[in-house]
Structure 1
């Protein structure tokens, strides 16, 4: 009786989180799963269309372009942010003066609102009166303004902004892993004649393996899901060059107010189908990475 009472008491603390998960998580997913089989514009009655929405997704070149853009964006973000975070973590793990202040400064971008951060960077990279162009032209580093948010440089610009916002979080996780490596291991290797690079290659990297797997997993998911800063800086433009999957889904549910009358109609039915396919793509990539990393761990 006491055991059952204690169990009920424990679950009562979890009840609010269960309710929030059901209301804000499970119910919206079930709602979207239902309406992906309907032609529903957000008003009036929903018309059952079967698999028509999914068939439309398969031939929607704008969506598949957004998938390709997402892979470019995610790949660039991962290739830059994870090595940079590891290097910063190693440096700031040394006993150098002011390292706590440097850690706080590098971590600061992760707690700044994404929208605020994107607005700041928009003013920096603005093609006409942006701070970066003014600085480069003032010191004669460029002859004319560079269109950082134009066709040629927009993807690179949003990747750099994403790296700035993410590297502090990954650095902190790497620092936690580094501080769990015993100093005795490094001291023993020094006595055996290992230099700093050899210690990093044969001790630090292998012992950071589990932490690195977790960081890469988080980085992949966050990169594939990211769209907020892109929406503020480029809104998927120019000509769809920075349009990513989740931004495309968002626009189907909440079309831009400044768009033409023909594109202001909310497409809940088709948007639900696109969201489902997007979730499947993210899920497949996550499972493949998890399976691959698990096999690599076992082989080691």
Structure 2
């Protein structure tokens, strides 16, 4: 009787979160999977079209361009974020004066809204009266304003801004991993005459391996799914050079909120959503496979 009551109490605690997960997690996925096979614009009657949305998807040049842009954006963001976050974590894990304050400063961008952060950087990188152009012209590096968000520099600018926002979170994860490394290992290496660089490469990095794999995986997934800052900064322009997968998907489902003069297309958007989810899943699976193979080798 007592066990049955304890079991009922356990289910009572689990039920609210489970119900919310079903309502806001499982049901929308099932709903979207259904409309992949329909022509549905958000109003009126949904018309069954079979695989027409997927046929359109294969021929959609802007979608494939967004896939390529996503790989460039994600690769650049991860390549820039991980090394900087690791170096900062190593420095702030040492006996540095004011390290707690500095940790808070570097972590601050993580808790900021992506939209607010992007507006601030829009003011900095603005082509005509932006702070960056004014500074570079004042010190004589450039003579004319550079269109950071409207030329070939747009993707590079978006990557730098996205990396700035992600460094703090990855730094915190690296700090958690570094604090799990025993001090006696580092002390033994110091006694043997190893300098700080040698201790970093031959002790810190190998012992941080499992945590490093997790951090890189999370960084890759976050970068592939990121679009908020690009939406605020460039809206996918100029001429689609910064259009990424999830921004393209967002425009299909909520065109009015992005200022797009195109009709809402929930049916095709659902098919694109499924396609992007498959891409993220495949890349994550490939990463797991490769890291497992490397673990066996080393």
Verify same fold: TM over 0.5. Answer: yes
Query: 1:1-300 maps to which residues of 2 (within 5 A)?
Result: 1-256=1-256, 258-260=259-261, 263=262, 265-300=263-298
Q: Find the aligned partners of 2:276 and 2:218 in 1 and give their Cα distance.
A: 17
Give 4+ residue runs of structure 1 displaced > 4 Å after superposition: none
What is the rounded CA distance, in whole Å, between the counterparts of 2:90 and 2:55 in structure 1? 49
Q: CA deviation at 1:135?
A: 1.2
Distance 1:182 1:39 in 2: 59
TM-score (norm 2): 0.97
After superposing the two structures, state which structure 1 stretch, 67-76 or 51-60, moved more.
51-60
**Contact 2:255-2:264 at 8 Å conserved across structures:** yes
Q: Unpaired segments of 5 or more residues in structure 2?
A: none
The Cα shift of 1:13 comes to 1.4
Distance between the aligned counterparts of 1:134 and 1:256, measured in 2?
34
Work out the CA distance in 2 between the residues paired with 1:11 and 1:207: 40
Question: CA offsets per residue over residues 227-262 of structure 1, 9 Å max, x none?
Answer: 0111001000110000000000000011146443xx
RMSD: 1.0
Partners of 1:19 and 1:151 in 2: how far apart? Answer: 47
Report Cα offsets for 1:172-218 as digits up to 9, x if no partner: 00011111111100111122222211111111001101110110111
Which one is further off, 225-234 or 133-142? 133-142
Q: Distance in 2 between matches of 1:48 and 1:212?
A: 46
5+ residue gaps, structure 1, are none
CA distance in 2, matches of 1:116, 1:244: 20
What displacement does 1:295 show?
A: 2.2
Decide whether the 8 Å contact of 2:251 with 2:260 is kept in 1.
no
What is the TM-score with the length of structure 1 in the denominator?
0.97
Deviations 1:60-90 (A, max 9, x none): 1100000000000000000000000000000
- Size of the alignment, in residue pairs? 297
Q: In structure 2, what is the Cα distance between the partners aligned to 1:275 and 1:250?
A: 9
**Structure 1 CA distance for aligned equivalents of residues 82 and 260 of structure 2:** 37
- Distance in 1, Cα, partners of 2:184 & 2:10: 42
2:21 and 2:296 mapped to 1: Cα distance? 34
